Amino acid sequence: MGKGRPKTVTASLGMDSGTLATDVAVRHHRFGVDEAPPRYDSRDAHPDPYDYILAGLAACTLISVRLSAEAKGFPLERAEVAGTFERCSPEEEGGQPDRITRTIALHGEELTDPERLKLIRAANCAGFKSITTGIPVTTVAADPA
């Protein structure tokens, strides 16, 4: 995403559906979001919002690592990212309410330790920076249709 080009996502939820499953549209893509059980008696019909945050971070990380490896000519054969979201109590970790752990595995028989370190540093993609620095959210009421 270039600077100054806003991204738009739309989501809808029918109040009479009897479920929290939400329909989401991004450009020509359609997918669902739900709450994970046992919260709100969810049916777990789709990944929950935090699953998508972790998926976005993992994908952004892998894209940055691959582009960096290709640009530097590093012999990276495969990379994997695992993400874990943990909700913490405000008293834990100096008052930090939430925590994400990102584990990056870099595979390549000829990949050296200095190359691995450079690729781990390259993993701090735009998505990582947005999550770790915070994004201001402005909420406006839409005109009733």
Q: Which residue has the tokens 């892998």?
A: 62
C-alpha of 66 from chain center: 17
21 has pLDDT over 50: yes
72 has pLDDT over 90: yes
**Helices 113-122 + 49-72 axis angle, to 10:** 130
- Across the range 2-9, mean pLDDT stands at 76
Structure tokens at 138: 């402005």
Query: pLDDT-derived band of residue 129, with 50, 70 and 90 as boundaries?
Result: confident
Report which residue type is found at 54. L
Q: What are the boundaries of each domain within the chain?
A: 8-34+41-47, 48-133
Give the best-scoring range by mean pLDDT among 21-25, 89-93, 101-105: 101-105
The neighbour count for residue 38, using CB atoms within 10 Å, is 8
For residue 38, whether the previous peptide bond is cis, meaning omega lies within 30 degrees of 0, is yes
- Across the range 66-76, mean pLDDT stands at 97
67 has pLDDT over 60: yes
93 has pLDDT over 60: no
59 has pLDDT over 80: yes
Is the CATH number of domain 48-133 3.40.50.720? no
Query: pLDDT-derived band of residue 1, with 50, 70 and 90 as boundaries?
Result: very low
Alpha-helical regions (H) of 1-145: 49-72, 113-122, 126-133
